Amino acid sequence: MASVKHYLQFKDLTRDEYDYLFARTRWIKEQFKAYQQYWPLTDRTLVMIFEKASTRTRLSFEAGMQQLGGSAIYLNTRDSQLGRGEPVEDAAQVISRMSDIVMIRTFEQEIIERFAANSRVPVINGLTNEYHPCQIMADIFTFIEQRGPIQGKTVAWIGDSNNVCNTWLQAAEVLDFNVHVSTPPGYEVEPERAGLYGTDHFEQFADPMEAAKGADLVTTDVWTSMGFEAENEERLRDFADWQVDADMMRAANKDAVFMHCLPAHRGEEVSAEVIDGPQSVVWDEAENRLHVQKALMEYLLLGRINS
Ligand code: CP
Ligand code: NVA
């Protein structure tokens, strides 16, 4: 099954493939906005497996597949055999014989890798403990829409060095931009876990204000990711000085945008003034999940299309 193309982490695609996908996303989004029917995936079935909660990921994949003429089936751990210990390899064999493409949201990256190794069809990472590649594809598409090419720009990541942060770091290597990361002590980036080749594209800062200086994009995420709920109280204390607020946005470039993958906690990782303020592009960012993932599914199933 080695010839099947999966999307398990950001670096699974090249810069050239991202350039194609962003152009394709623009076209697919235009069709959607103009109410133009576009059904390249008629009769194709997407299976979505959720081992963690979701609003945006489920909605954008399910709506996206329907809009491309296909259908989507939702499975979760609670009411499938996955929650009762069926080996992931067996699940992959069966699910991939009955569908054309699979999206999985799960815990360790190793689980999705084992699934993909036993799948006859493309597998997409809808978030693992380590990565969230579809999110960063949408975020970068949003940046390009708002401000132009991301190459050479600076992204400030303030907060936890989690799955979304790791994916920004991989994206910086693939697309050649810089990431300033500021985390509280003890929560620093682990380059190996982030899947980085080197440290050329990121710099760690003890002071979040220093990280924000000169940034073209400031971004953050919840202090406690799904699966880490037991650490919530401790994290609330440890992260208290890592809120993105108006002062921090003032330290960034004047035309910097603010992003957050959502769901957000106003008053924790971001102030209401920032997320609801004029520099925030979070609603476009969320919407773009739909458009980039449609381009991604089309690409994994049909290859490049000339439009
Ligand atoms: N950003 C994101 O993936 O949101 P959901 O958890 O709602 O899917
Ligand atoms: N880092 C968060 C992202 C949610 C979309 C989590 O993993 O819970």
The lowest-confidence range among 46-55, 72-81, 118-127 is: 72-81
pLDDT at residue 36, as a whole number? 98
Condensed to tens digits (0 to 9), the pLDDT of residues 112-165 reads: 999 999 999 999 999 999 999 999 999 999 999 999 999 999 999 999 999 999
Same domain (yes/no): 95, 234 = no
In whole angstroms, what is the distance from residue 158 CA to residue 251 CA? 13
Condensed to tens digits (0 to 9), the pLDDT of residues 157-188 reads: 999 999 999 999 999 999 999 999 999 999 99
Atom number in ligand 1 closest to CA 105: 8
**In the predicted model, is pLDDT for residue 2 greater than 80?**
no
Domain tally, the chain:
2
- The residue segments making up the domain with residue 253 are 135-285
Residue 109 lies in a domain: yes
Same domain (yes/no): 147, 83 = no
Same domain (yes/no): 125, 143 = no
Ligand 2 centroid to Cα of residue 278, in Å, is 24
Whether 135 lines ligand 1, by a CB cut-off of 6 Å, is yes
Q: Please give the share of the chain, as a percent, with pLDDT higher than 90.
A: 93
Choose one of 139, 164, 166, 167 to mutate for the ligand 2 pocket test, by most ligand atoms within 8 angstroms of C-beta. 164
Name the nearest CA neighbour of 300 among 62, 65, 30: 65
Residue having the nearest C-alpha atom to atom 4 of ligand 1: 56
In whole angstroms, what is the distance from residue 61 CA to residue 234 CA? 34
Same domain (yes/no): 121, 162 = no
- What is the 3-class SS of the chain, one letter each residue? CCCCCCECCHHHCCHHHHHHHHHHHHHHHHHHHCCCCCCCCCCCEEEEEECCCCCHHHHHHHHHHHHCCCEEEEEECCCCHHHHCCCHHHHHHHHCCCCCEEEEECCCHHHHHHHHHCCCCCEEECCCCCCCHHHHHHHHHHHHHHHCCCCCCEEEEECCCCHHHHHHHHHHHHHCCEEEEECCCCCCCCCCCCCCCCCCCEEECCCHHHHHCCCCEEEECCCCCCCCHHHHHHHHHHCCCCCECHHHHHHCCCCCEEEECCCCCECCCECHHHHCCCCECHHHHHHHHHHHHHHHHHHHHHCCCCC
Same domain (yes/no): 87, 114 = yes
The lowest-confidence range among 15-29, 67-81, 214-228 is: 67-81
pLDDT at residue 79, as a whole number? 81
**In the predicted model, is pLDDT for residue 307 greater than 70?**
no
Higher-confidence residue: 166 or 306?
Answer: 166
Same domain (yes/no): 279, 144 = yes
In whole angstroms, what is the distance from residue 305 CA to residue 40 CA? 10
**In the predicted model, is pLDDT for residue 27 greater than 90?**
yes
Higher-confidence residue: 85 or 213?
Answer: 213
Same domain (yes/no): 273, 298 = no
pLDDT at residue 83, as a whole number? 86
Out of 139, 160, 216, 221, the active site residue is 221
Residue having the nearest C-alpha atom to atom 6 of ligand 1: 54
Condensed to tens digits (0 to 9), the pLDDT of residues 213-255 reads: 999 999 999 999 999 999 999 999 999 999 999 999 999 999 9
Q: Would you place residue 80 in the very low, low, confident or very high pLDDT band (cuts 50, 70, 90)?
A: confident
Residue 1 lies in a domain: no
pLDDT at residue 1, as a whole number? 66
On average, the pLDDT of the chain sits at: 97
Same domain (yes/no): 142, 277 = yes
Q: Which residue matches tokens 């476009």?
A: 284
Same domain (yes/no): 293, 160 = no
Domain of 148, CATH number, reads: 3.40.50.1370
Q: Would you place residue 78 in the very low, low, confident or very high pLDDT band (cuts 50, 70, 90)?
A: confident
Residue 51 lies in a domain: yes
* Residues 52-80, mean pLDDT to the nearest whole number: 96
Residue 5 lies in a domain: no
Same domain (yes/no): 52, 84 = yes
